[in-house]
Structure 1
Amino acid sequence: MAIIITDECINCAACEPECPNTAIYEGGREWNWAGGTKLESVELEDGSTVDAKVAQAPVSNEFYYIVAGKCTECTGFHEEPQCAAVCPVDCCVPDPDMVETKEELLAKKAWLHQEVEA
């Protein structure tokens, strides 16, 4: 399950530097798949492929936001999502629309960071 930032966000920026996947961005800021990852290209749900360095539209223009496709809930890095651990207003919460198992989150981490199984 990815984490989302609710509209209770006070834009304090405490969460952004804590994300090991660079999945958190300031409201209105474009993002890309390559930032914080080893991805060079990404196949989208519609089957098309994009250069991982190409800027994508912001998910939110008002508040900090998390790109669900890059969020692993810090699985494989930390025991809990670090954004939620440092948020002073508890607005980093599980996204009920993006439920993923621990195995799926570990696979996403491996994909994002191009980890090869030994």
Structure 2
Amino acid sequence: MSLLITDECINCDVCEPECPNDAIYQGDEIYEIHPHLCTQCVGHYDEPQCQQVCPVDCILIDEEKPETQAELQDKYEKLQEAKK
């Protein structure tokens, strides 16, 4: 599943540079996550880096976009291929 940022976001700017897939961007009011780019850091790290640095714990699993570990790995591999 991709992650999502809740409206508890304080726009502290620490999550965006931590995302290895450039999935996090500044939305109209708070930071948001492109679900098609979010792999929960699968392929890069053991844990989602944005969640690790968020001071208010407002980055959660998006239950509306379920993905298995294998699907996240596949998404990561496709994103890496596209960078070539």
The one-letter amino acid of 2:70's match is: E
Aligned residue number for residue 99 of structure 1: 66
Structure possessing the higher radius of gyration over alpha carbons? 1
Structure 1 residue ranges (4+ consecutive) displaced by more than 4 angstroms after TM superposition = none
Q: CA deviation at 1:113?
A: 1.1
Task: Work out the CA distance in 2 between the residues paired with 1:25 and 1:98.
Answer: 18
Task: Work out the CA distance in 1 between the residues paired with 2:40 and 2:65.
Answer: 11
> For structure 1, which runs of at least 5 residues remain unmatched after alignment?
28-60
What's the Cα RMSD here? 1.0
Please identify which structure carries the higher helix content: 2
Q: CA deviation at 1:76?
A: 1.0
Q: CA deviation at 1:92?
A: 0.6
Q: Sequence identity, in percent?
A: 54
Q: Normalising by structure 2, what TM-score? A: 0.94
Q: CA deviation at 1:67?
A: 0.2
Equivalent pairs counted in the alignment come to 82
Task: Work out the CA distance in 1 between the residues paired with 2:35 and 2:19.
Answer: 12
Q: Normalising by structure 1, what TM-score? A: 0.68
